Amino acid sequence: MSETQTSEQITVYSDYVCPFCYLGRESLRQYQATREEALEIDWQPFDLRSQQRDADGEIDHSVDDGKDEEYYEQAKQGVRRLQERYGVEMELDLSREIDSLSAQIVSYYVKGHADYETWLAFDEAVFEALWQDGRDIGDEDLLVELAEDAGVDGDEVRAALDDDALRAEVHDRFAQARRQGVTGVPTFAYDGHAARGAVPPEQLERLVDGA
**pLDDT per residue of the chain (211 residues) written in tens, 0 to 9:** 444 444 489 999 999 999 999 999 999 999 999 999 989 999 999 999 887 787 777 877 677 777 788 988 999 999 999 999 999 999 988 888 899 999 999 999 999 999 999 999 999 999 999 999 999 999 999 999 999 999 999 999 999 999 999 999 999 999 999 999 999 999 999 999 999 999 999 999 999 998 5
Which letter, b or e, does each residue of 57-82 get, where b requires 16 or more Cβ atoms within 10 Å of its Cβ?
eebeeeeeeeeeeeeeeebeebbeeb
Q: In order of start, what are the domains of the chain with their CATH numbers?
A: 9-209 (3.40.30.10)
* 146 vs 165: CA distance, rounded Å: 23
pTM equals 0.92
| Amino acid at position 149, single letter | D
* 146 vs 160: CA distance, rounded Å: 14
